[in-house]
């Protein structure tokens, strides 16, 4: 309930946020009992060789408001289990969730100084990234901030910045699509969390053979999506996070119009009867859907809105053409293909420039045991599961001689030659 109250996600998403957090704790704790070092046989019979891991040291975690419980545990559960200390800055929009997580850590008996939290704005995050004692920074958030952190921290020898950022995600709906699955997946991908997910879809790339039917069905549902009190189970979309973000969504909608969009659904300003009683001052916004002819120079198809702002793009030809459009973005986080043709699905799998790819599913959602992260402007793919272990540990290649003699690899002579008198 606190997740839904503080960041506006409808209640099933609030529950899922917390469930994902304890799933990650469960995975991290169980995974810690698995061996992660690799035995690497030496080419010299008398030697043993293997790779072992050790903690990097102090890990700074900077997390976003849209998953105020789950994402912190993506970072912190693994960092702590692998032997690091953590200093965490939760998003300034969700300090209540941050305080509760900190209290839970204290109640669980985490030793003083092993887990640390600092509340604040950008200056608090900068205090973490600028501190020479912080060896690693795990960041999830906007591309602008993430690129600044990556440039600052990553440029220092011995330091690592693992950043997961935004996306301009697309769903390819081919002529072989099951339209029931296509419409369902697109609605989920575009409007869950009021479009405020880094994996939300803002581009629907639809084959001309099914375009008209898909458009009609998608628009009909977008017109009726239930926006309302996030604590009510019949709500599909809650409010946006804050007034500044509502204004950002407005600017993206205006940009699409300016660039020639044909607006199909405009519920940016909701009807009075849609807004819950006594919440008229809330940050309410509804779906905005438009169609536009694809052009590589359109900003509205390249810049992330992070809201319920969706473009319909019609394409003709084969799946290769769809992938040209799909990949024409500086981001590479998540995407999906809807098709009953396995060849089309496999082509998407092999050629989509993504870190998270789905077939016949929404392009939102992640299971904790799978890596989560993107490519290109979306990040370097470290923030969850096994890949987070790579970020918070260092590897040492260890070789031990079991013989009383020294024998070198590659045939290198171990003889010591001295000058003759």
Catalytic site positions: 164, 198
What does the radius of gyration of the chain's CA atoms come to, in whole angstroms? Answer: 25
Tokens representing residue 188 in the block: 């989920």
Tokens representing residue 31 in the block: 């995974």
Return the H-helix or E-strand segment holding 138: strand 136-140
Question: Contact, 292 vs 311, CB < 8 A?
Answer: yes
Which alpha helices (H) appear in 32-121, and where do they start and end? 70-81, 95-107
Question: Contact, 180 vs 315, CB < 8 A?
Answer: no
SS3 content of the chain, % helix, strand, coil (to 5): 40, 20, 40
Nearest to 305 by CA among 151, 392, 197, 402: 197
Residue 326 class from Cβ within 10 Å (0-12 exposed, 13-18 middle, 19+ buried)?
Answer: buried
Distance, CA of 196 to chain centre:
11
- Alpha-carbon span 254 to 269, nearest angstrom: 13
SS (H, E, C) 316-376: CCCHHHHHHHHCCCCEECEEEEECCCHHHHHHHHHHCCCCEEEECCCCCCCCCCCCCCCEE
- Alpha-carbon span 241 to 8, nearest angstrom: 6
- C-alpha dihedral (314, 319, 324, 329), degrees to nearest 10: 70
Report the phi/psi class of residue 28: left, alpha or beta, with left for phi > 0 and alpha for psi in -120 to 50.
alpha
- Alpha-carbon span 48 to 67, nearest angstrom: 45
A 10 A CB-CB count for 15 gives 14
Question: Contact, 225 vs 236, CB < 8 A?
Answer: yes
- Alpha-carbon span 218 to 238, nearest angstrom: 19
């Amino acid at each position: 309930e606190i997740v839904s109250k503080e960041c506006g996600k409808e209640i099933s998403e609030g529950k899922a946020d917390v469930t994902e957090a304890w799933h990650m704790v469960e995975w991290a704790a169980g995974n810690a009992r698995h061996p992660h070092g690799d035995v690497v046989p030496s080419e010299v019979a008398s030697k043993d060789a293997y790779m072992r891991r050790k903690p990097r040291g102090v890990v700074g975690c900077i997390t976003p408001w849209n998953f105020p419980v789950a994402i912190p545990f993506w970072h912190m559960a693994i960092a702590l289990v692998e032997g690091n200390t953590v200093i965490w800055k939760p998003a300034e929009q969700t300090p209540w969730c941050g305080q509760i997580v900190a209290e839970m850590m204290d109640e669980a008996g985490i030793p003083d100084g092993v887990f640390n939290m600092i509340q604040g704005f950008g200056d608090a995050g900068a205090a973490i990234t600028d501190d020479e004692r912080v060896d690693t920074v795990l960041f999830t958030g906007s591309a602008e901030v993430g690129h600044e952190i990556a440039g600052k921290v990553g440029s220092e020898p011995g330091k690592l910045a693992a950043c997961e950022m935004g996306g301009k995600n697309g769903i390819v709906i081919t002529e072989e699509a099951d339209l029931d699955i296509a419409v369902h997946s697109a609605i989920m991908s575009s409007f869950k969390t009021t479009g405020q997910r880094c994996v939300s879809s803002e581009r629907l790339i639809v084959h001309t053979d099914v375009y008209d039917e898909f458009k009609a069905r998608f628009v009909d549902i977008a017109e009726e999506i239930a926006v309302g009190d996030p604590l009510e189970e019949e709500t599909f979309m809650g409010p946006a996070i804050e007034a500044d973000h509502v204004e950002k969504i407005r600017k993206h909608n205006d940009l699409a119009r300016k660039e020639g969009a044909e607006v199909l659904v405009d519920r940016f300003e909701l009807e009075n009867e849609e807004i819950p009683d006594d919440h008229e001052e809330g940050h309410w916004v509804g779906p905005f859907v438009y169609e536009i002819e694809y052009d590589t120079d359109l900003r509205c198809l390249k810049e992330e809105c992070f809201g319920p702002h969706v473009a319909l793009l019609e394409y003709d030809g084969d799946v290769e053409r769809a992938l040209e459009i799909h990949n024409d973005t500086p981001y590479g986080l998540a995407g999906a293909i809807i098709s009953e043709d396995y060849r089309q699905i496999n082509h998407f799998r092999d050629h989509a420039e993504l870190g998270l790819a789905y077939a016949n599913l929404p392009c939102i959602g992640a299971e904790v045991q799978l890596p989560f992260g993107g490519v290109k402007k979306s990040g370097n793919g470290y923030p969850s599961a096994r890949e987070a272990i790579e970020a918070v540990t260092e590897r040492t290649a260890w070789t031990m001689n079991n013989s009383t003699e020294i024998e070198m690899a590659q045939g290198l002579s171990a003889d010591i030659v001295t000058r003759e008198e």
